[in-house]
Structure 1
Amino acid sequence: MSICCPSTTNHGITCLIAIKIKLSLILRFALEVSDAYIKKALGKKWRDNKSILKKEYFKKPISLEEKLQNVPPGMLRTVSELEQAAGKNKNLRTRQASSGQKVGRLQLFDITHRKKDGTPMSSEAAEIMEKLKDKKAEYEATASTDSSVNFEDIDNRIINEVLGPERYGRVRFQGSGVNPTQYFGSTSHQYMPSGSQSQAEVQRLKDQIVQIQASTDKQISQLRAEAAVREAEQNRKYNELQQQL
């Protein structure tokens, strides 16, 4: 829930209600994204993308033949091209199944945040990669002398330490269709915000409620004072008019 508090009184009150709702949900539930939310999100993304494609590539004052040649990057124009792409994807899936190697979350981040030439996509991505690399080296050094370290959990713990805890109902780098229970199993709670982190969020929301309430009360007082000034001015003008009559 994105929370924004404009300066106007009405919006401030609406914002206050939104924060109270979020606070009550955090106190009562360990939230996970529902199927309805996923379908709604995907539907909106699909409609938005369809609208953009039509505007950029189809709704132009050019002939139909030119429109057929003017296609988005990566979109196939003919059936033969589609069949060739399908065959290529089938071969890639076969090779993936035969290798039997599972891509770790750190490796997935590294792959998806690099350009074709192998360089990081941005300075922020490069900084995160460096932090992940350093943290993994620390864990591997510890694991070499401590047999209790679970190698399967290292990637998850490193990501939590570098990027912060997972959001409710989300798993980083896995898209909106995967929730913690599906990815981690029944023990997914260990990768969700801890009790102390939840308490910190609750306290932050409570402080925000107090702050917004105080701001709203101040705005209401100002409005009342301004209304009193306007009323006094109207009474003065009315009295002057009565004297003139």
Structure 2
Amino acid sequence: MRLRYYEFINSEVSSGQKVGRLRLFEITHMKKDGSSMTSEAGEIIEKLKEKKAEYERLLRLIGLVLPRPNILDPAPSNTCLSGVKLKLKFRAEAADKEATAVAREAAAAAREAEASKKYDELQLQLQQMMQMFQQSQKPPS
């Protein structure tokens, strides 16, 4: 998995494109066949994609609502539009903060799932070792 991550980062850096959080999470939590490593990771990716779509819809809305500046009119007098701009800006910032929070929660949930999986594996190994020890302590019949 780390090799895929570094290959991705190197390809993104050489192409000059910015690496997005969602794409980075997908790369680090998806198998090569496109399926998610855990069900939690799959749910998190879906939530992040929904937030991204919502954010993109908001950006398109901003583009439709905000007027293009008129070169001949250096000081537009419509203060209502500035209020709309401000509200849309705050909503976009709030959506971005929420997406960041979801990404952080997703990363924490993925770490917790991985730790739980490792703990379960260690518990199983310990049980197997205890059984082997108990069998070695029995006198031969």
| TM-score by shorter chain over 0.5 | no
The structure carrying a bigger helix percent of its residues is: 2
TM-score (norm 1): 0.28
TM-score (norm 2): 0.45
> Highest CA radius of gyration, 1 or 2?
1
